[in-house]
Structure 1
């Protein structure tokens, strides 16, 4: 596609995804990122991984975090985050994105919540890296599921129970996010979102930004790209995906997808459907 890069600008930047065919709700990811800066995005799943080398800087839950080599990274579902290299040589890492219902089924527990996004423990981080590498290479479904249980066990020391209640704004904003998700292909106004939240428009805009550390537009784009990810994994053509999630055309999808996930839609589709 003319004018749209099919690769990262820096030749050392690499990102790969894999989805096991037998276990929906699990996505594996490995990357070495030197120059690319990830736009705010969400995986709508628990993000569990480890930094193999270098240092990552990312924004998550209103704060900047540094994740150095030999540290574990833990992200709760539905939280926007960014990512960029803090060291000249970038950072190399592996992640597993695991849906809430899969975590509950494997762990036998509900309401997992991680207070800390980064935990420094070289031995545990190294074990997580080995487990994620083994999961990537696993060919038998039983072997994969056994390794997945071990991976989840490896983060048990960081699990906290989800808080019983969040801020008073949370229930209103839950409805706003549901509204955004149901109207991805539409042009949505500030006034209609404020009406969903039962707030005046500019009060809503400030409160939403303060609660999510993102504007409503950033949240909408994150939800659009996450839905695009799901549709691509189902084999839908990128041009059709772009129209379905409210992006102007396939070129827009390609740019926005690469900014958030580090690969083009076509390459992501090939990786997860092999």
Structure 2
């Protein structure tokens, strides 16, 4: 059950990231980020109000859950800002896989080192496969030999910056995903709403610094709708961690870059180098490898 919820969360994460990445090429990335997170906040607010309407009260949020909610919000704010800015400037098929691998690897390691979850051989092998996948995905397309020797090319520099955006976004999402997995409230609408509102603070600050327009229009409303799907993915993920160990759930979440990458290849006609395709292939077989151990 937990792995299935993790896969459903991965599908919704991947789809929402792709569509918001496309929107980030039409309007400022910070505008997309703010409205997407605001849309998620509306979803969690509606959830909380529905609980209050049916039960007459909300379960009190303890200090520990509040701390994890704040950490998840800070991580989400950093992750969303870096991811959407990266997708605006660089290939979605490169930024998203690097983000995913980093965001999955860190909670996966923490589940073993801090939570003491068992580590099996197949799971360890899958974890080790994440490292070459990151390296291959960050490789530039093959260039003709330079008679003056190897020199940095504009494309190689773009790939380096794309990978950097992915690393920053991945670190932010890793903090968010690990924090969410530690929330213990039986009805987590309030902690999720708290985290979502906290994530808006750094995004609004960045939008102000960059003078990003926040006027309501068709594209920003589209970002808000996509944010609803991302919020639902977070809810699926949180409940997945309650029905399975965090390690296997994180590996299931690692499926999500396949969706935006596939959509980027089919819809946006982006192209991968052979090394990047190999890195994506390695990432794609990680889930079956872990399934053997679970």
TM-score range, shorter-chain basis?
under 0.3
TM-score, length-normalised on structure 2? 0.24
Which is strand-richer, 1 or 2?
1
**Structure with larger RCO (C-alpha < 8 A, sep 6+):** 2
Between structures 1 and 2, the one with greater helix share = 2
Name the TM-score, length of structure 1 as normaliser. 0.26
